[in-house]
Amino acid sequence: MTSIEELVERIERIEAALTGDPDYAPVEMPDRSVAAMIRWVAFETGLRGDAIRGNDRRAAHARARFAVFWGARELRELSFAKIGRAVGDRDHSTVVSGYRRALEMRERDPAFRLLTNRMIDAFSVRKDAA
């Protein structure tokens, strides 16, 4: 069952998307860039894109960042250095560490696995669409 807080948060995200807030704008395919992944994760998590790119170490921000690292590596096969540059100009070793954390979280955290599975659906190129 969905709590009232979750419903309010979802409504706020939808309102932000409708008013044109670029950090909450739904991603239109076939944009598969890291920037598009950041916008998508921001929309899905209710965070701002600049918060995902920033240095905030709170769990929600780190989880969102790890999801972007994972998506960029798994779905785009980008180098850790390129991912780091796209996500707040981070060092490649930071991205490697976050990517490994994302792999662990996919195994142990059902909510994170669901988020990243939805990311697969959103960013995979379908053969019939190509």
Per-residue model confidence as pLDDT tens digits over 58-102: 999 999 999 999 999 999 999 999 999 999 999 999 999 999 999
pLDDT score, position 9:
74
The DSSP letter of residue 23 is: T
* Domains by residue range for the chain, with CATH: 4-123 (1.10.1750.10)
pTM of the model: 0.74
What's the whole-number average pLDDT of the chain?
Answer: 85
**CA dist., res. 46 & res. 10, Å (int):** 8
**CA dist., res. 59 & res. 38, Å (int):** 16
Residue 37 has pLDDT above 70, yes or no: yes
CB 119 within 8 A of CB 24: no
Residue 44 has pLDDT above 90, yes or no: yes
- Band (pLDDT 50/70/90 cuts) for residue 130 is very low
- Band (pLDDT 50/70/90 cuts) for residue 29 is very low
